[in-house]
Structure 1
Amino acid sequence: MTPEELEAARDRLVPDVIASGLSVLFCGINPGLMSAATGHHFARPGNRFWPVLHRSGFTPRRLKPSEQDELLTYGLGITNVVARATARADELSDEEFREGGRLLAVKVAELKPRWLAVAGVTAYRTAFHDRTARIGPQERTIGDTRIWALPNPSGLNAHWTLETMAEEFARLRAAAQEESGVRQGARGAGR
């Protein structure tokens, strides 16, 4: 992509990869220009989302951004806190994050995923007015949907390595699988 093509993608929207009743709905901060230009989430080559998703056991192989719709076959989806594309997340205002959090809560209440996984604890803190949030499961829920704050998979997030990020994603995967087993057991118990 040329710099002009990337700049032309500014403010574009990237369609969600969603369905009702997902196991985990992953939520990015907002689309980057590469994602907006290609129409695929986490499309910048340095972004670690796709390798981490595979290393953590969510997918049996490393998917390419262009294969994002395959996530639905694994009970996974992708959305964003803020829909509009920017070159950097710091181009977004706190007001946009708060409005994005409000709209995200409506979307989650409608779709009812078991887990909402926000990839970026700072974005989660701003969007949901929770300044003390830490990486991991949150006390807040949206209806029956539990929330997990994940590290931002951007290559700029040097605090987390590929391996430590995969370990955190794997903790979420284990919790989602455990909860899925409990729900299936509860449904089967009444038969």
Structure 2
Amino acid sequence: MANRPRKPSRAELAAAWGRTVPDVIAPGLRVLFCGINPSLYTAAVGYHFARPGNRFWPVLHGAGLTDRLLAPSEQGLLPEYGLGITNFVARATAKASELTNAELVAGAALLAAKLRRFRPKVLAVLGVTAYRAAFAEPSAQVGLQAQRIAGVPVWVLPNPSGLNAHYRIADLVALYRGLQTLA
């Protein structure tokens, strides 16, 4: 994997609160991944899923969605693989629990507009709890959803954060590999 960015200091992390990280998005992607919101670490370094314990990048590779393990600093290569990243809420927080349900619902409306504009083959939402709140689907489970958003199939996946420890990396790889059936 390419070099990781320098670990941000406590002051840099504190200063990252509320910052945004630009989407990695293009028309016609195979999969658009939608996270909950950027972490302070991600906002401080400027790359999605950059925290060292986050398993997003290894899971992408393990699931066969990339041909090699990419570093967060290589996120700009994702569209070459037909992949992209956005978030329900753009502002960085220390924990996703700092977000309100109203923010997630507003983010869902913005996400639907992005789907209409960019038309990915599938939307992969990273976090079942966020999906439930954002789309008022309280019984949603991991996997393919009956609901389409802006005509795009939705696949809900566990969040790859290291904080979501009850999913082992092998479990995440198997679940993310399922995206290949739609993309």
TM value normalised by structure 1: 0.90
Match of 1:125 in 2: 132
Give the ranges of 4+ consecutive aligned residues of structure 1 lying more than 4 Å apart after TM superposition: none
Matched, 1:16 2:23: yes
Pick from 47, 59, 79 the counterpart of residue 72 of structure 1.
79
Aligned pair count?
176
Gaps of 5+ in 1: 177-191
Residue identity in the other structure for 2:33: F
Tell me how far 1:174 sits from its aligned partner: 3.0
Tell me how far 1:143 sits from its aligned partner: 3.0
Residue identity in the other structure for 2:51: R
Is the Cα contact below 8 Å between 1:114 and 1:144 reproduced in 2? Answer: no
Tell me how far 1:54 sits from its aligned partner: 0.4
Match of 2:65 in 1: 58
Match of 1:172 in 2: 179
Match of 2:110 in 1: 103
Q: Kindly name which structure, 1 or 2, has the bigger radius of gyration based on alpha carbons.
A: 1
Residue identity in the other structure for 1:149: V
TM value normalised by structure 2: 0.94
Is the Cα contact below 8 Å between 1:29 and 1:89 reproduced in 2? Answer: yes
Matched, 1:159 2:133: no
Match of 2:33 in 1: 26
Gaps of 5+ in 2: 1-7
Instruction: Name the CA distance, whole Å, in 2 between partners of 1:154 and 1:70.
Output: 21
Is the Cα contact below 8 Å between 2:121 and 2:182 reproduced in 1? Answer: no
What does the per-residue CA deviation read over 1:127-166, in whole Å, with 9 as the maximum and x for residues that have no partner? Answer: 1110011000111112331110000101011221000000
RMSD: 0.8
